[in-house]
Amino acid sequence: MLGKENDMNRFFSQSFVTVEHLTGEDVTLVFRKAEEMRTLCEEKGGDDRLKHKILAALFYEPSTRTFSSFISAMQRLGGGVIPLNGMSHTSVIKGETLEDTVRVFSSYADILVMRHPDPGSIANAVEYAAKPIINAGDGIGEHPTQALIDAYTIENVFGKIDGLHILLIGDLAHYRPTNSLSKLLALYPNVKISMSTPKQVPMQEEVTSYLKKKKVSFKEYSDFQDILPEVDVLYVTRVKKEYMSESLYKQVKGSYIVDKTMVRQMKKKSIILHCLPRVDEIHADVDSDPRSLYLTTQVRNGLYVRMALLDLILRKAS
Ligand code: CP
């Protein structure tokens, strides 16, 4: 769903639903644009390049960061927003379909940013929308913009992604950001991915098959503590209570909690990421460790990367 391979900016006027369509050049373009946005924010706070453009944020599921950072991104670039964080005060409640909803918002807005509980729903919505749609999370499917933020954060710290060892821990069965990040990491031939999950919530077969097809080096561990001294990036995830039965939640909740003792085993030059919200899976005493980027750099990078995507999608000469 991106433009032709030889286009300079394949994002222009296109929807962004999955990382599977990205090339290394696309990712480099987003990172370069995100750097431009960082400088713009630091020096001037923003500009008017998207004046008279409107973003409709249609969130059928709750969000703090994705919703707010897209709103902030659009406003910092001079655009306007239709901000719907929850659809309970729209005609969705009267039974209006997703297909009709996106057709309608295509008349009001230049770009739609959508979150929905059903995997595949955003790809379906794209078929009916007359304007580009950005996937802000489709159930246990993908969260492609979060993966770009995470990769950008890693690249910024290490100056590279290829060759790094990335450990993903937690409820990987239901965690769309790690689905997208794992698939994105397949662009880097020498990345090493380790995964450690409670046995009831392993990474989805669809994702591990993708990694195998792309010949990504990955290994699953029942206990991640032994490999902590080797990893460059520790990526912690939340137990997604909203996507599981009460009985499954009782089995997995609290089964992994990262604390200071664990973090002490990690390399000096390593980082801890979590795309948030965090519940209890990282102890608060880890927050002040300089390697913990989840409440600071990772969040801030969300703004720059989303500004970059809006600019690339809405302006050809980006
Ligand atoms: N990281 C993330 O998607 O957070 P929100 O659910 O708050 O948007």
Domain limits, the chain: 19-142+302-314, 144-298
Q: Which CATH class is domain 19-142+302-314?
A: alpha beta
Helix (H, G, I), strand (E, B), or coil: what is residue 109? coil
User: Which residue lies with its CA nearest to atom 7 of ligand 1?
Assistant: 64
Helices 144-158 + 24-43 axis angle, to 10: 80
The pLDDT value given to residue 80: 98
Q: Is 274 among the catalytic positions? A: no
Residue from 116, 131, 143, 240 carrying the catalytic annotation? 143
Q: What is the mean pLDDT of residues 23-33?
A: 97
Q: Is 66 among the catalytic positions? A: yes
pTM as predicted: 0.97
Equal CATH topology for 19-142+302-314 and 144-298? yes
- For residue 237 and ligand 1, the question of a CB distance below 6 A is answered with no
In terms of Cβ atoms closer than 10 Å to its own Cβ (0-12, 13-18, 19+), residue 111 is buried
Residue from 10, 65, 76, 192 carrying the catalytic annotation? 65
Reference 189, options 62, 24, 22; nearest CA is 24
In CATH terms, the superfamily for domain 144-298 is: Aspartate/ornithine carbamoyltransferase (3.40.50.1370)
C-alpha distances in Å from residue 167, one per residue of 217, 256, 266: 12, 14, 12
> Does residue 5 carry a pLDDT above 90?
no
Query: Predicted confidence band at 318 (pLDDT cuts at 50, 70, 90)?
Result: low
Could you read off the pLDDT of 174-202 as tens digits, one per residue? 999 999 999 999 999 999 999 999 999 99
Could you read off the pLDDT of 224-234 as tens digits, one per residue? 999 999 999 99
